[in-house]
Structure 1
Amino acid sequence: MNLWGIIAIVLVPSLVTCAVIAKDGDVEEEGLYSKSDHVVILTQRNFERKVYNQNHAALVQFYNSYCGHCRGFAPKFKALAAEVAPWKNIFQFKVIDCSIEENNEICREFEVMAYPSLRYIHEHYVKANGNVGDRIQMTDTAEKLKSQLITKMQAEQSMGRLAFAPKLSIASYASYAAALNDVPNDVTYTFLVFESENSTVGSELALDINDYNHIKVKRVYDTSELAEKAGVSHFPGLVAVSTMLDANPLTPKNPSKQNLLKAVNKFLKSKNYAFPTRDTPEQEMTQNEHSGEKLTSSNLDVVYYSDLEKTLKTSLHTEITRYKSLTGEALEALLDYLHVLRTTFPFKNNNLRDYIEDLHDTLKTRSEWNGNDVYEIVKRLENVHAPVYMSQLEYIGCKGSQSKYRGYTCGLWTLFHTLTVNAAQKPGTETGLKVLRVMHGYVKHFFGCTTCSEHFQAMAARNRLFDVKENDKAVLWLWISHNEVNLRLAGDVTEDPEHPKIQFPSVTKCPECRLARGAWNLPAVYQYLLNVYGTGNIRDARQVNSAASAPSPFSNLDIGMLSLLYILSFIILILVIKYFLTKRLYRKRHYKHGRGKV
């Protein structure tokens, strides 16, 4: 093989690996979902094109990728999306991550105030004020959500929509001829499902095989005269009827939907039926580009200024702006939050301090704000006081082993621990007490995880947050509450396996924080919290020497090209060495031959 052949082998895979292709603003992966999860990933750039004026209905999930409930719900949503993939011509699952700043305006327009939120969008939906879809109630299982969706689709069809879908209504018939009276002539077999009106099995079966050519499913009341004639006594019952009205009872012993589907497929296979070819893409194991990196244990109890800044920016860009109309108690909670930040945040940059003060003073001038206006003010003042942030805004101490872990939730705990500790170190003030109340107000009105917010409010009431009277007690109250949350979530699906939720500080990190038999030594714990979250101990991102913690200065393309250059240099070096060795060997042989002639 010549040199150019070798270069081609090396070059082509490298360029393929480095290339990122986007089509019309579409993405393959974002937040908690990828395209292989049988969902349509929505963004601000493709939302209108993929939601409005579609020839199918859809369930849109508005979620927040750092919300624990959203993370816990994602596997159920993915499993259901994969299960109902055959419905894609009729009904599709779509998702949008509201924690991404550019998507925030859409989430605000759809009046999403809880995460995750589900909205049913019927076919040919149009964009208009007040058109925010039909709210679908969250459920604790995928099966319950599926039943709720089928019931919704049945109701939609009764209103004249979903005319292109299989008929989902139920009726009574006296004979097979009556049941098949409205069935098109090209239908070879009609499967009758005998069930009660409240059952969703027949409708689900009809949707599952909606792409089977020349096949129909019809729902029949289990109390109808035809049920008795067909000899069906076990429900849901299943009977296959040919165009010649030949009936074949197929009811399995356990008549679940899955078993009914198996019975249908087995029957059709025996008739040499040509099943449709379906796209069944393999589930791809997606992994965050940094998933192989691990933080060293020494980083776990260190606060990085980059974490605080990134958390603060996320808070101001995506959380406080999610209200369509911001007024009353929520506006007061925001003003209190900004006030505490301006007095207690460990600013390393005067521009950020001025920005927070200006934002507070601007927002207190009115009693009601439009969410879009708040966002524009946040962006405008950020430009006025630029540069506001001094770091590259990457999580370091709060970085998870994958993008779906830790991040903002870790950052928010870190922010409020830092605020309580810095407030406690200001003698003669009660700012620490204000920090707890501000945290309560912020989590109640702005934190993008509804279930998490409800848990925190219940814990605050149970642990008597509003009875805390001293700054040092505020520091310890937050520490106790954080450990209570860690205990509740230990082993949960949202837990990062590389960063298990423990009772902190660990014995390794703070041996003196434990007394005999494991009891807490509270004075030592308090001192530990001061040491970790105090202003003087917060590290700048530039102090991070670990390659696993520092953000890479190169893009994926840069790294790919550097790797390519390295490989090409190595190949050239080998060829040069080979050339000189060959030339030297040739000279030796020539010299020896010459001596033989003398």
Structure 2
Amino acid sequence: MMYRVNFVLLCILLQNYPVIGAVIADTGDIDEQGLYSKSDHVIILTNRNFERKVYGQKHALLVEFYNSYCGHCRAFAPKFKSLAADIVAWKDVIQLAVIDCSVDENNEICRQFEVMAYPSFRYIHEHYVKGNANIGERFQSTDSAEKLKSQLIAKMQAEQSLGRLVFSPSLSIASYATYTSALSDVPSDVFYTFLVFENANSTVGSELALDINDYKLIRVKRVYDTSELAKFAGVTHFPGLVALSSTLEPTSLTPKNPTKQNLLKAINTFLKSKNYAFPVRKIDTQDLNINVNSDEKLSYLNSDIVYYSDLEKTIKASLHTEITRHKILKDEALQALLNYLDVLISTFPFRGNLRDYILDLAENLQTKKEWSGSEVYDLVKRLETTHAPVYTSDLDYIGCKGSQPKFRGYTCGLWTLFHTLTVNAAKKPGTEGPKVLRALHGYVKHFFGCTECSEHFQAMAARNRLFDVKENDKAVLWLWISHNEVNLRLAGDITEDPEHPKIQFPSVSKCPECRLARGAWNLPAVYQYLQKMYGSENIRDSRRLASSGVAASPFSNLDIGMLSLLYILSFIIILLVVKFFITKHFFRKRRYKHGFGKV
């Protein structure tokens, strides 16, 4: 009886096993990554779904290539979400998509599209074909959703002039003398045509046409405000709006304040009065607010402690996603990379195999004067295998962990790494500190993913005369002053983590002796404080978190999943073995009559 129960259990386990496999073999479609979620009305692209979602589509795309730790990307994300929500009705014509280039697996796509600044926007027309030269059309970086929308509409108008976007409502503008000529190319079954009188540079008419592109048997036509028809219709305020029936009966609808929203409202009110059947649109009302449980806040962490896991994760991110975004690495950029590796080798407080790995990487990179980004990435991955295990920590942000994934992280880790390098360089003979500063300047100039941040840093370096620093202690203090300058500039910014406000550090509570009367800095005390905070002897292992009352799991989610799978497989094997011996013994003892003879 026992073996029958075990056999039933075995069947249940085997029946469920393919479900596990189906989950692993996903299509790459995800609901959230980086700064965006599916509810933001954007397509989230990954390396696994990019080709399927981008190439050969019936609609056009505007793709944002961004970096989730880039401050400018974080600041622009709400504006891009606002634009996406504003043009949901345009989805049959054009859709917005995003791809996070800070994600390791997405890096190759960003490199193929020659993305060297974040955020970068590329227009991809319908039925786009994959090819080495097909990297979309670049859009100018902008600071507002309205400016980006204006660029998008201008591009779509140009596309129609090239014979594309034939499925889109007409976005062109023309002059007409009579209502009859205005309707000459409008199908006879159209109920109403809305004439928008405006100048050629206005985008209002195009926006209205796209906003109601799914209204059946309704049209929008743009008309020059200087045309004879404008005078004939009595339109004196622009943009002006006239509803024209198929029987050429006009109705003036121009509101007192003719904004796009008011014009759209006027159209909808008019159609409602005519008992028009509006299309049913699916509106996503999912609440985007993320409530942070007070128990999950990071108040237990001392912000003035450096964790080795933060440093290792930052180094790995720099090697995996930042240096490899270059399509070609040569000349000044390649030298900047070698300088970065050189100061790591000479000043970073290595543990385990990481030093040998960095040495090997630097030696290999010196063998050629030009590398492709994909070659560097392959080299980085191959040497990681050669020197495994390269990283000794949990590779997670601890001191740099933000209250939400979009906060802190890599940028905090990079500052922490920079301070660690200057402080530990200052403990060595010679003038390693200034050398570190110059290497960091080269790294930020050529590799740091936040373009606006990089430009700010380079301007600050020129203003504060980075290249004139000649002594180790001055290098430590230069970086500290610059960090506080950045904190002052970004305090209260949208990118600031509310749980970790940007202050002038060290705070009075952390270092009372660092301040003199009236708040002036006591530089010798500050220098000693930085030496203590970033010195190699004070860098904490993440495993020591347990002593602070925070339980640190020895296994990652992947480890737990694999252990569970191994447990199930082991259990199945045991059941099979038990069944084999029981069945063998049972068959030897007894034989049964069967319709086909003995069994």
- Tell me if the contact between 1:290 and 1:402 (Cα under 8 Å) persists in the aligned partners: no
Give the deviation of 1:294 after TM superposition.
2.1
The match for 1:442 is 443
Deviations 1:457-498 (A, max 9, x none): 000000000011100000000000000000000000000000
The match for 1:382 is 384
- Tell me if the contact between 2:29 and 2:44 (Cα under 8 Å) persists in the aligned partners: yes
Give the deviation of 1:293 after TM superposition.
1.8
The match for 1:425 is 427
Alignment counterpart, residue 308 of structure 1, candidates 299, 308, 311: 311
Give the deviation of 1:33 after TM superposition.
0.1
- Partners of 1:24 and 1:284 in 2: CA distance: 26
- Tell me if the contact between 1:325 and 1:369 (Cα under 8 Å) persists in the aligned partners: yes
Q: Count the aligned residue pairs.
A: 541
Give the deviation of 1:287 after TM superposition.
3.8
- Partners of 2:294 and 2:240 in 1: CA distance: 50
Give the deviation of 1:283 after TM superposition.
3.4
The match for 1:281 is 284
Alignment counterpart, residue 117 of structure 2, candidates 114, 119, 130: 114
- Tell me if the contact between 1:295 and 1:548 (Cα under 8 Å) persists in the aligned partners: no
Which amino acid letter does the alignment assign opposite residue 437 of structure 1? R
The match for 1:476 is 477
Alignment counterpart, residue 41 of structure 1, candidates 29, 40, 44: 44
The match for 1:592 is none
Does residue 256 of structure 1 match 2:259? yes
- Partners of 2:209 and 2:449 in 1: CA distance: 38
Alignment counterpart, residue 176 of structure 1, candidates 150, 175, 179: 179
Q: Runs of 4+ in structure 1 displaced over 4 angstroms?
A: 19-23, 288-292, 546-549, 556-559
The match for 1:531 is 532
Alignment counterpart, residue 139 of structure 1, candidates 135, 142, 145: 142
- Partners of 1:326 and 1:83 in 2: CA distance: 40
Give the deviation of 1:25 after TM superposition.
1.3
- Tell me if the contact between 2:301 and 2:399 (Cα under 8 Å) persists in the aligned partners: no
- Partners of 1:486 and 1:555 in 2: CA distance: 35
- Partners of 1:434 and 1:217 in 2: CA distance: 63
The match for 1:589 is none
Percent of counterpart pairs with the same letter? Answer: 73
Compute the TM-score of the two structures, normalised by the length of structure 2. Answer: 0.88
- Tell me if the contact between 1:325 and 1:368 (Cα under 8 Å) persists in the aligned partners: yes
The match for 1:193 is 196
Residues 168 and 298 from structure 1, CA distance in 2 versus in 1: closer, same or farther, beyond 3 angstroms?
Answer: closer
Which amino acid letter does the alignment assign opposite residue 184 of structure 1? P
Give the deviation of 1:295 after TM superposition.
2.3
Alignment counterpart, residue 364 of structure 2, candidates 362, 365, 368: 362
- Partners of 1:170 and 1:135 in 2: CA distance: 25
Residues 59 and 186 from structure 1, CA distance in 2 versus in 1: closer, same or farther, beyond 3 angstroms?
Answer: same
1:4-15 equivalences under 5 Å are: none
- Partners of 1:20 and 1:131 in 2: CA distance: 33
1:187-266 equivalences under 5 Å are: 187-266=190-269
- Tell me if the contact between 1:334 and 1:442 (Cα under 8 Å) persists in the aligned partners: yes
- Partners of 1:361 and 1:207 in 2: CA distance: 56
- Partners of 1:434 and 1:533 in 2: CA distance: 18
1:331-346 equivalences under 5 Å are: 331-346=334-349
- Tell me if the contact between 2:338 and 2:362 (Cα under 8 Å) persists in the aligned partners: yes
Residues 548 and 109 from structure 1, CA distance in 2 versus in 1: closer, same or farther, beyond 3 angstroms?
Answer: farther
- Partners of 1:215 and 1:556 in 2: CA distance: 54
Alignment counterpart, residue 411 of structure 1, candidates 413, 418, 426: 413
1:508-519 equivalences under 5 Å are: 508-519=509-520
The match for 1:28 is 31
Give the deviation of 1:556 after TM superposition.
10
Give the secondary-structure state (helix, strand or coil) at the position aligned to 1:503: coil
- Partners of 1:403 and 1:288 in 2: CA distance: 13
- Partners of 2:119 and 2:152 in 1: CA distance: 16
Which amino acid letter does the alignment assign opposite residue 136 of structure 2? G
**Unpaired stretches in structure 2, ≥5 consecutive residues:** 1-21, 565-599
- Tell me if the contact between 2:423 and 2:535 (Cα under 8 Å) persists in the aligned partners: yes
1:59-78 equivalences under 5 Å are: 59-78=62-81
Give the deviation of 1:198 after TM superposition.
1.1
The match for 1:320 is 323
The match for 2:522 is 521
**Unpaired stretches in structure 1, ≥5 consecutive residues:** 1-18, 563-598
Give the deviation of 1:292 after TM superposition.
5.4
- Partners of 1:549 and 1:62 in 2: CA distance: 37
Give the secondary-structure state (helix, strand or coil) at the position aligned to 1:528: helix
Does residue 100 of structure 1 match 2:103? yes
- Tell me if the contact between 1:37 and 1:283 (Cα under 8 Å) persists in the aligned partners: no
What RMSD in Å do the two structures reach over aligned CA positions? Answer: 2.0
- Tell me if the contact between 2:40 and 2:84 (Cα under 8 Å) persists in the aligned partners: yes
Give the secondary-structure state (helix, strand or coil) at the position aligned to 1:106: helix
The match for 1:593 is none
Deviations 1:301-349 (A, max 9, x none): 0000000000000000000111101001000000010011111110121
- Tell me if the contact between 1:108 and 1:322 (Cα under 8 Å) persists in the aligned partners: yes
- Tell me if the contact between 2:292 and 2:403 (Cα under 8 Å) persists in the aligned partners: no
